[in-house]
Amino acid sequence: MKLISWNVNGLRAVLKKDFAASFAALDADVFCVQETKCQPGEADFAPEGYASYFYSAEKKGYSGTACWSRVAPLSVNCGIGVEEHSHEGRAITLEFENFYLVNVYAPNAQEGLARIDYRLRWEDDLRAYLLALDAQKPVVLCGDLNVAHNEIDLKNPGPNRGSAGFSDPERAKMTELLAAGFADTFREKYPDLTGAYSWWSYRFNARKNNAGWRIDYFLVSRRVMDKVKTAAIHPEVFGSDHCPVELDIDL
């Protein structure tokens, strides 16, 4: 099954930037997006052969996740089962016969780590939710996790140490999640590959200079890592400040 994940930084905006063509070219069985910034019905996109699932934030023009699947899920669940995290449209779970697919847009810790306490509660609650699913069947987690785990995962680790997305507490939570039984598919496939990023600031010609961060992931239950055929990043696909990431897994 081929899975794609992409933070589109506004679904209505990216639809004006050849999103439909990119969607078709990537040819995913399930296509997950984050930061839709819209309510259901506000974006005109209904690809043939796919069913759509949206989870929008209560605040208009903010956050949100969505999935298009040409494989009918057994069930669809919005949120991670904690009321505090049920207002910003940050997680959709599609249950398939042999695995759960969880599409996530993690909260940003914000400048000055203003939201770090909430972010860390989210991390603990997400991990508990994933482990509960994993006890039933394997889990594939995708999305913008808003953290560069290690120094290899961003161009300029030194100046960014301690900033949102590269703070010690956020990185430690990613380490804790992986230690709980999950694998970072791209880094497992390419442990020493540098210059592989999925997000670039719009400032300072960052994308042109490949001064980026790898903050978009596919994680899987470690016991099915051997089922992963391809883990890829698609920096050639434009339309957002992020690019799509891919997982091809035989489940």
User: How far apart are alpha carbons 153 and 161 in whole angstroms?
Assistant: 12
**Assign residue 201 a region: left if phi > 0, alpha if psi is -120 to 50, beta otherwise?**
beta
Nearest to 250 by CA among 36, 78, 98, 63: 98
- Whether residue 133 contacts residue 125, with contact meaning beta carbons closer than 8 Å, is answered with no
- Whether residue 11 contacts residue 36, with contact meaning beta carbons closer than 8 Å, is answered with yes
Active site residues: 105, 144
Hey, is 128 helix, strand or coil? helix
